[in-house]
Structures are given as C-alpha cells and as structure tokens.
Structure 1
Amino acid sequence: MRKTSARLLALLSLLQARRDWPGALLAERLDVSPRTVRRDIDRLRELGYPIAALKGPDGGYRLGAGTQLPPLLFDDDQVVALAVALRTAAVTGAGIEEDAVRALATVRQVMPARLRHRIDALQITAVTRPRTDLAPQADTEVLLTLSTAIRAREILRFDYRSPDHAPDPSTSPPRRAEPHHLVTWGSRWYLVAWDLDREDWRTFRVDRLTPRTPTGPRFTPRELPGGDVTAYVATRFRGAHHPDGTPAWPCRGEVVLHLPATEITGYVHDGLVEEVSSDRCRLTLGSWSWPSLAALIGRFDVDFEIVGPAELTEAFGRLGKRYAEAAARSTSSNAPRTSGTTPLDTP
C-alpha cells in the first residue's frame, strides 16, 4: 500500500482530473477501502482543500475552487508535462514567450533535483518559415479578453486595423462578431468568428485587433463550415486565402488531372485536391503569374483538362508554343551532319 503522503498526492491528483468522483471509484483507483478514502478526504480538508461531499446512493466528492485554495500538488509526470509545455511555448511563438520563460523558471525552482535534471536535458529549437520569423505577436491581455468572450458566448466589439493603418475609434464604428475559436497558424494568433455586419465567417489576426468593452449580449453558437474548427481552418489555410481573408495568390486556376487524388495529395502543399472519380481529381492551385501556374500544373506530367479561367488557358497556349519552338531549335541544332568528316572519321 502507498504511504499516506503519496496516497494523498494521488487522491488530490484524481480530484483535479474531473469534476465529480464517486467514493467507490476513488477507492478502486487508489486500491484502498472506502473508509481510507473518507479518512484521506478529511486530511485534505484539514490542509485547506475545499472538498465537498456529494449526495447519492454511492456518495462522492468534488474539489472546489475557492479563493483560499492552497498551492496545488503535482506528481512527477504532471510536473514534467507542465515544464515541457512551458518550454515549448517559450520557443514556438504565439506571443507568450516571455511569460512562459518566467513561469518555467518558477516551476523549475521548486522542482526536486531528479526532475530538474530531466527538464534541463530537454532542448527545443523552433524552426519557423521565413515569412513568419518577424511576425507581430498578440498581446496576452487581448488573448485573455477574447478567450473570456468565447467562453461566455458574448458578442465581441473591437477595432480592426488594416495592414496599412490603424482605425480611428472616434470615426470608425467597431466591428461586431460572435467569437468562436482562437487558433494559431504560422506563429500568429487568429480569431475565428461570425461577422455580424457582413453575415459571414471571418478569421481575424489577433495582433491587429483591439477589443472594446463592455462586450455585447450572449449568443447561441453557430455551426462552423465543415462541422468543426479543424475542418474549417484546414480549408481556410489551404491556399485560397491568407487566414485574414486576403487572397493568397494573384492567379488561381482549376484543372482536372488524369490521376487519382490519393496520388497527388502529398505533393500539393498550397492547393486544394478534390476527387472526381477513381482516376480523376480536380486541382485548384495558385501562383504569382499565369505562366508560373501553368508550369506548376505541367510538372505532374499527366493528361488534364483546363477548367478555367481563360487566363490559364492562354498561359498554357503561350507556354506550349514556346516549348515547341525550343524543342524544334534543339532538334535542328543536334541533327547529324550529312557531309564532311568528324573527329571519329580520323584514324
């Protein structure tokens, strides 16, 4: 049987893991009798932990969250998990690096030596895409304000500046939206929300957003396109637009490739692949110019039909003519000679 101190720590850890615990289940998880559980609950109460008894056939317990809650206790695995999460947050951006570093230092200071050695051995290097290395970061207070509005399901009022200038609050009416999710992408924070004025889903960069107080009335959450935030974000960030809604590429086109979707999905990192049939797929892709887009599609080296737009068709025509002329010149210059001698003819 565990020592009393270790058992109390395990009991406290279980009480923190879920809202309500039946007494019999606690006894089973700790491998002790229900009487021992009751005795350990009394000891935790004496230490200042607000644990309420639940009525019912089997009885139960709930750990409260009072203002006088003593410092929480963690087992070794929880401490390591907390330190790993803080170290990861300290190097991966998202605007909380400094706070994460200070929190990690605080946690490390109270760790036993055996755990400090494990954490110090963990070294993480964050490698970000060049275009996001200098990405502006969101303010922690703004993130907390948005999180509170999302949790309370309250309409958010905020000022939103464009990339070029900040709005003038005295002349610009605030944006109004139903906030649904906070997400990170490319070292930036984004707010996924239903824009009440535009009556559509929008994704706002948090570093360009300034909340106004107070928040508005409560709302009933709508269903995101795709069913959940993962499906919505995966589609939104796949290349049709930047997360804030601006077009990602000036030139976008569609073709039907004579290949199964499964064979090209792994090679398309900034486009959309849709299955048409067992041996056909529709590819939507973007690039900085129409000839560049045509060349990107040509790299698959399979037959295809152009869906549109007309600019893409014209680009394929120009490239086809240019390639044909280049091939003709190459064939002419490499043709075998019909007279004279070559070095191979010389003995």
Structure 2
Amino acid sequence: MLDTSARLLRLLSLLQSRADWTGAELAGRLEVGLRTVRRDIDRLRELGYPVDATPGVAGGYRLGHGAALPPLLLDDEEAVAVTISLRMAATGSVAGLEEAALRALAKLQQVLPSRLRHRVTAFQSSVVPLTGTVAERVDADLLAAIAAACRDRRRIRLRYRRGDQEQAREVEPYRLVHTPHRWYLLAWDTGRKDWRTFRVDRITPPLGQPGARFTPRPPPHEDTAAYVSTSISAAPYAYQARILFHAPLAEVAPHTSPTAGRLEAVDEHSCVFHAGSNSLREIAVHVAVKGFDFEVLDPPELVPVLQEVSERLRRAADSSRPHLTAVPRPLRRPDKTETRNG
C-alpha cells in the first residue's frame, strides 16, 4: 500500500486525468477504504486544491476551479509564463512538443484562477506572431476545450467550415491527432452515424458548453494515427495508390508526411507507400521526386502515366542541352547579418 504522501500524489493525478470520480472508483484505484479517500480529499483541500464533492448515490469528486492557484511550486508570474509557453508549443511553435504541451495545458487551465486567465488573454491579444504560411493557426483555447471533451467523454457541437459554408455538427470526440502542420479531431459524428476526421483549424471557436456524457464506442482502428493518416491522405480521392519503395522506411519517412500518405514497413530494405489523389500525374510526380527506386503495386493505370511523364522529362532534357553552353554560377544569397534590421 502507498504511504500517505505518495497516495495523495496518486489521488491528485487521478483527479486530473478525468472530470468525475466516484468514491468507490478512487478507493479501488488507491486500494484503500472510502473513509481513507475522504480523509485524503480533505488533505488536498487543506493544501489548496479545489476538490468538489457531490453527495448521493450518483455523487463523486472532481477537481474544480479555485480562488487561488494550488501549490504547484509556481507563483502567478510563473503560472502565466508556463501557460503562454504551453499555448505556443501546443499550436506548433516547437516541433515535437505539441501533444505533450496540449495535455499539460488542459491540466493547468483546469485549475488556473480567473485573474491569471485574464493576464494570459491580455498577453496573447497584444502579441503578433511572425509565422510562415506552411500551417494554419489553431486557437489554443479551442484545442484545450476539445482535449478536455475527449478526456471527459462529453459530446460537443462544432461549427465546421467547408469552403464558404459552415455546418453544425454534433460529435463524440475520441482523439486529437497532430501532424507536422495541422491538428485533426477523430470523432463519431452522431448525425452521419459514422467516424469522421475534422481539421481543427476549420472549427470555428469557441465551442459551446460541453454536452451529455457518452459511452465510448470501439475505435475504428487499433492504430489511431494510421487511421487518420489514411483518412486524410487517401480515402477522399478517386485513385488509391500503393508504391513499393526499395529503401528502408527510416530513409523514406523524412521525405514524406502523414498528410501526403502512409508508410508501412515490408522488411529492413523496403516499404510501401499508401496515398491517394484525383490525378494520376500528381501521384507519378510525387513518388518520383522522392529519389528512391520504386515499383507500382496499385493502380495499374499509373504505369502508363509514369511512362508518359518519363518521356516528357527526357524530351525536355534533350531539347535543353544544346542551349546550355555553360553552367551559370548560382546567385549569392546575402548573409543574415547584412540584412537591414532598422
């Protein structure tokens, strides 16, 4: 059995992992009696953690919003700094930290006092990010709200943009999936009675109040990331391609992305690339420029298109050769220190 200090940390972790717990569930997880659970809840409250209790048979405990920040070894300034940093990381400013930052942000915002929320909002509204055009910006509050709905198993209503139209959708959120450039939500669409993948940057914030709780359905695939990759890179298109690359998956992976297609290892020397497109020429050029030898497994219609593209490239090279009397020297790019910075 855990000692008191370790048990309190375990209890706090459980309360942060989802919205509501019954006393019996907590007692079972901690392997103690209900009286011990009640004493530990009182200890957390004495430490400043706002634990709400609901009486009755269906009652239980949940971690609520407090008047002061619980003792996380952070003062107000540090809490604001951490929240802002997590928002920036969750929306893609630091590669590889997006999902972990979003989980931490959801936990921190659950107990962040309103006065600190206002300071975070004020800072965010006064900062203009200098970003490129490779990714659509996603609202951090929207991401945190969706993550909380996934965790708490609550239905949400979306206003989802497709082209110039905006649709109202009610979904049972399952998982958030992140690619190098975008966030996607995998959810059960109650209106269409099927699983759907939503681009989060197309969801209009803010979300409404969380809806009714739901019992999770069996996921559409045991590998959520692979399912979403297939959904966004192949399923919507007229042509589905399977390309066998004569190179290890580890070598091919840096030259593709989950939004372009899904890689599947065959052995240590080869891998299969699954992708979709409405144009066979696009598929032909896309796989050719990766720089690896390959074979077409599907569809057979892709083979003559590859021959056509190959002939066109050969003719372009042959006709261009007589005009190239010398290789031009590349233009020198200015050093960063030479640019005017005001």
Please name the residue that 1:18 is paired with.
Answer: 10
1:61-80 to 2 correspondences below 5 Å: 61-62=40-41, 63-64=44-45, 65=51, 71-72=68-69, 74=71, 76=73
1:201-212 to 2 correspondences below 5 Å: 201-205=195-199, 207-208=203-204
Q: Give the counterpart of 1:220 among 193, 215, 223.
A: 215
Task: Look up the equivalent residue of 1:87 and give its one-letter code.
Answer: I
Q: Is the 8 A contact 2:247 2:271 kept in 1?
A: yes
Q: Structure 1, residues 266-301: CA drift from partner, whole Å, max 9, x if none?
A: 322233211223433212346785444323322355
> How far apart are 1:308 and its partner, in Å?
3.0
> How far apart are 1:329 and its partner, in Å?
5.5
Q: Structure 1, residues 84-133: CA drift from partner, whole Å, max 9, x if none?
A: 4323145457599xx99x738859xxxxxxxxxxxxxxxx9977551435
Task: Look up the equivalent residue of 1:309 and give its one-letter code.
Answer: P
Please name the residue that 2:252 is paired with.
Answer: 264
For structure 1, list consecutive stretches of 5 or more residues without a partner in the other structure: 1-12, 22-52, 108-123, 168-173, 335-347
Task: Look up the equivalent residue of 2:135 and give its one-letter code.
Answer: T
> How far apart are 1:232 and its partner, in Å?
1.7
Q: CA RMSD in A?
A: 5.2
Please name the residue that 1:313 is paired with.
Answer: 303
Q: Is the 8 A contact 1:160 1:209 kept in 2?
A: no
Measured in 2, the distance between the counterparts of 1:213 and 1:105 equals 20
Please name the residue that 1:103 is paired with.
Answer: 116
Q: Is the 8 A contact 2:156 2:211 kept in 1?
A: yes
Please name the residue that 1:299 is paired with.
Answer: 289
Alignment TM-score, normalising by the size of structure 1: 0.52
1:34-49 to 2 correspondences below 5 Å: none
Measured in 2, the distance between the counterparts of 1:18 and 1:283 equals 43
Task: Look up the equivalent residue of 2:164 and give its one-letter code.
Answer: D
From the superposition, tell whether residues 76 and 138 of structure 1 become closer, same or farther in structure 2 (CA, over 3 Å).
Answer: closer
Q: Is the 8 A contact 2:197 2:231 kept in 1?
A: no
Task: Look up the equivalent residue of 1:241 and give its one-letter code.
Answer: I
Q: Give the counterpart of 1:82 among 68, 71, 79.
A: 79
Q: Is the 8 A contact 2:255 2:290 kept in 1?
A: no
Q: Structure 1, residues 162-216: CA drift from partner, whole Å, max 9, x if none?
A: 331235xxxxxx6443222456667876543112343322133452478677935
Q: Is the 8 A contact 2:139 2:205 kept in 1?
A: no
Measured in 2, the distance between the counterparts of 1:225 and 1:68 equals 35
From the superposition, tell whether residues 256 and 127 of structure 1 become closer, same or farther in structure 2 (CA, over 3 Å).
Answer: farther
From the superposition, tell whether residues 148 and 322 of structure 1 become closer, same or farther in structure 2 (CA, over 3 Å).
Answer: closer
Q: How many residues align?
A: 255
Please name the residue that 2:16 is paired with.
Answer: none
1:49-68 to 2 correspondences below 5 Å: 55=35, 61-62=40-41, 63-64=44-45, 65=51
Q: Give the counterpart of 1:130 among 124, 128, 133.
A: 133
Instruction: Find the residue that maps to 2:286 and give its secondary structure.
Output: helix
Q: Is the 8 A contact 1:149 1:179 kept in 2?
A: yes
Measured in 2, the distance between the counterparts of 1:265 and 1:255 equals 14
Measured in 2, the distance between the counterparts of 1:69 and 1:325 equals 72
Please name the residue that 2:340 is paired with.
Answer: none
> How far apart are 1:75 and its partner, in Å?
5.9
Measured in 1, the distance between the counterparts of 2:128 and 2:268 equals 42
From the superposition, tell whether residues 257 and 154 of structure 1 become closer, same or farther in structure 2 (CA, over 3 Å).
Answer: closer
Please name the residue that 1:241 is paired with.
Answer: 232
Percent identical: 26
Please name the residue that 2:270 is paired with.
Answer: 280
Q: Is the 8 A contact 1:257 1:302 kept in 2?
A: yes
Q: Higher Cα Rg: structure 1 or 2?
A: 1
Please name the residue that 2:29 is paired with.
Answer: none
Measured in 1, the distance between the counterparts of 2:77 and 2:208 equals 38
From the superposition, tell whether residues 75 and 246 of structure 1 become closer, same or farther in structure 2 (CA, over 3 Å).
Answer: same
Q: Is the 8 A contact 1:274 1:282 kept in 2?
A: yes
Measured in 1, the distance between the counterparts of 2:199 and 2:90 equals 15
Instruction: Find the residue that maps to 1:194 and give its secondary structure.
Output: strand
Task: Look up the equivalent residue of 1:85 and give its one-letter code.
Answer: V
Measured in 1, the distance between the counterparts of 2:217 and 2:117 equals 38
Measured in 2, the distance between the counterparts of 1:82 and 1:210 equals 23
Instruction: Find the residue that maps to 2:163 and give its secondary structure.
Output: coil
Alignment TM-score, normalising by the size of structure 2: 0.52
Instruction: Find the residue that maps to 2:162 and give its secondary structure.
Output: coil
Measured in 2, the distance between the counterparts of 1:14 and 1:73 equals 17
Measured in 1, the distance between the counterparts of 2:182 and 2:250 equals 31
Instruction: Find the residue that maps to 2:40 and give its secondary structure.
Output: strand
From the superposition, tell whether residues 80 and 225 of structure 1 become closer, same or farther in structure 2 (CA, over 3 Å).
Answer: farther
From the superposition, tell whether residues 156 and 20 of structure 1 become closer, same or farther in structure 2 (CA, over 3 Å).
Answer: closer
Measured in 2, the distance between the counterparts of 1:210 and 1:16 equals 35
